[in-house]
Structure 1
Amino acid sequence: MGLTSNKVLVLAVMFAVLLFVGTVWFWPRLARRNWRAISGRVGLLFATQLAIFASIGLAANQAFGFYASWADLFGQESEQGVVVDHNADGAGGGPLQVVDTQQVNVTGGSRPQIGGQIQKVDIVGRKTRIVSPAYVYLPPEYFQPQYRTRTFPAAVVLTGYPGTAQALIKGLHFPQTVHRLAKDGKMQPMILVMLRPTVAPPRDTECVDIPGGPQTETFFAKDLPDAVMSHYRVGKKPGSWGIIGDSTGGYCALKLAMHHPKSYAAAAGLSPYYKAPIDATTGDLFHGNKGLRNRADLFWCLKHLPAPDTSLLVTSSKAGEKNYKSTVKFINQVQATNRTRISSIILDSGGHNFNTWRREIPAALQWMSGRLTDR
C-alpha cells in the first residue's frame, strides 16, 4: 500500500484508536510501582502517541502532497533525475511520452469532449538530458471536432518543495478550476503542464543551472516547452505560454519569466520568495560563481539587468505569510522599471498552505488567461 493510500491512513487511525482504548483498559493493571508496570505504561504511552502522530502526518501528507511514496519520504527516490542519453536523440520516441490517462473529476468527466482529460507523461530534455514525469490537462475543446485545428495557450504549473505533481490535481484542483472557469466563460480553454520543480530528486535545485549538475533552468525554459509543443496543439509564440507555482514553484515561475520572457509571457507566484536559498536540501547551487548567485536573486535582477517584457503576478497575506514585506518591496521595484508589468493578490490573512492558495488560484488563472494568446 502506497504512502498516499486511503487504506494506509485508515489503518493508522484504527491502530491509534485501538492503542488509546488499550491504554485506558490496561492502565489500572499497570498501576503498580515495579519495573514491569512502569515499562508497560511508558510503552503504551509512547506507542499511542507515535500512532497518533503518524495518523496526523499521513493525513497532512495527503492534504498537502509533501511526499509521493515511501521511497520519497525516506530520501530513496531515484527513479527520475538527470539521465544521460535516455531517448534524448529521439530514438524510441520523441521528447514527450504519454504513459497513462485519467479522467477529470468533473460532471461528465468520463468523456474527454465534456470533461477534458489528464495525461501522465514523461518529458525528456533534449538539451539538458533531464527526465521528469508530469501531468498534462487537455481541455474539452481539445477533443471537440470543431476545434481540431485550433492551438491552445499553455501554462506550466509548479508545486513547492518537495511537493508532488498529484497534489496539483487532488489538493489544489487546477484542472477542475480551469474547467469550471472556462465553462463559465471567465477564461479561455488552456492546457496545463503540471509537475514539481524537483526534477533531480531528492535535491532542491531551485530552478538553477548548477555548474556540473542539473541544468534545471534550461530544462524549464527550453526543453519543457519544446517537448510539449512537439506533441500537443499548443501555441508556439511567447505570448501563448505562462507559468504559475506556489512557494518554491512561485519563485521559479517568477524567475523563469524574468530571465526568459521569450519563453513565458506571464508568471504568477503564489506565496513566492525572491532569492534562492542555500541549505541542506539545495547543496551548493552556485559553486562560487557570483554571477549565478546574483541571477538567482530577483531583487538583484531588477536592479542590474534590463527589465524584461513580461507580466508578473505575486500573492501574499498581511497576516500569516512571512513574505508580505518582501512582496510589497518586489512590487515597488517592478513598478519602477516601467517595462515589466506587475499585479498582486494580497489577502488580509492566510497561511503558507493549500487552503490559502485555493483562494488565490481562480483569480490568478483568470489573470493569466487574459495575458496569453492561442497562437
Structure 2
Amino acid sequence: MNAKEIRELFPILKQEVNGHPLVYLDSAATSQKPVQVIEAVDRYYREYNSNVHRGVHTLGTLATDGYEGAREKVRAFINARAMEEIVFTRGTTTGLNLVAWSYARSVLKEGDEVVITQVEHHSNLIPWQQAAKAIGATLKYIPLQPDGTITLEAAEQTITPKTKLVAMGYVSNVLGTVNPVKEVADIVHRNGGVMVVDAAQAAPHIRVDVQDLDCDFLAFSGHKMAGPTGIGVLYGKQSLLESMEPIEFGGEMIDFVELYDSTWKELPWKFEGGTPIIAGAIGLGAAIDFIESIGLDAIREHELKLVKYTMEQMRAIEGMTIYGPEERSGLVTFNIEGVHPHDLATVLDTEGIAIRAGHHCAQPLMKFLKASATARASFYLYNTEEDVDTFVKALLKTKEYFGNVFS
C-alpha cells in the first residue's frame, strides 16, 4: 500500500482548509487517525461500553477483554517480556512523571547524579530537574556536538558510578536525531544506574524493542502513532515496577482496604487507579494493528525518502537554516532569515498547510541553537511528495512576500 492509498484511510485529510486541500505536516505534535482506529473507539461506545475488571456481565467482560487485549498488543509491539511490565497512562508525560515520583524520589539520595541531555522535551527534563532539586541530587547534562547530537565518548565521560539514573529521548522532537540509547544503556548499567527512555517520537516511526535496548523504563503516547489522545504506555522491568509504590490511590488499584492500612493489586493494575482509559486503550490496540499491517520498516523507509526530498529542496532556498544532523527521523526543523516562524506558520495555514512553530517544548535546546523559536515540518506514513512540493512552493511564496514587505 503506497502513501496515496494510505492517505485515503484518514478521513480528516480529505478536507480543505482555507480553500486549499489540507497538507498536514505536524505529526510530531499529534498524528491523524485512520478509520480503523475511529471505528474501534466508536464500536466500544456503541456496542460494549462498560467498566473493566469489576463486573461479570457480558458488556463488562467484552470491555475487559478489549482493554487487556490492547495491553497484550502493546507488549508484543515493544517486545516486553510480560504484560505485567505494561502500564497504561495518559501519555508519555504521565509515564515519565510516574518514574520520577515513584522510583527516582524513593531511590535517589543527596549527592547522587541524574544525567540527561539538553535536547530533551520538557516532559523528559522537568521531572528529573524537580526530583534532583527536592532530594539534593546533582543534575548533569551530556555535552552536545554542534549539530545537537551526542557521542558515546561524551556519555562515557559524563556518566559515573554516582549516576543513578539517565533519561534520554530515543528520537528528538526538534532535531529528528536518533540517539544511541542502547549503547548509552550499556554505559549506564556498567556504572550501576538505570536507563529511562522517552520513546514518544520513536514508537510511531521505528521498531522499539525494549529487550534489545535493555532499557529499564520506556514511555510513549498513543496519539503520535495514529491512536487516540489521552492514552500512553509506561514500560518498566518487572522487578523495578514491583519495588515501586503507586502515586494515585483509590478504586481499582487496591487489593484489601482496612480502616488504617491498605494493600495493592499486583502489576500492572496497582498503577492504574480509578476507571482506566478504556476506549483509548482499545483505540491504541487498533492503531498498533494498523501500523503493523503497514510495517514499521516501510514507514521508516518512506519517511527517510520524504525527508531527503524535502531537505534537498529547502537547501536551495536562500536564507534557509536547517537544524540537526543529516541522518534523522521524519521531521525538519528550520528558520528562514527575515521571517519569524510564527509568521511563517500563519501564512502557510492560509494555504492549507499545517506546520509547527515555537520552542517545541524544548527551551534549553532553543538556547543551544541560538534561536528563540523555530518552524518544524514533520511527516508520517500518509504524507506524499506532492505534500512536500506544495509546502516548498508556499515557503518560497512566503519568503518573497516578507522580502517585498520589508524591502
- Which TM-score bucket, shorter chain as reference? under 0.3
**Of the two, which has the highest radius of gyration?**
1
Question: Relative CO higher for 1 or 2, CA cutoff 8 Å, sep ≥ 6?
Answer: 2
With normalisation by structure 1, the TM-score equals 0.24
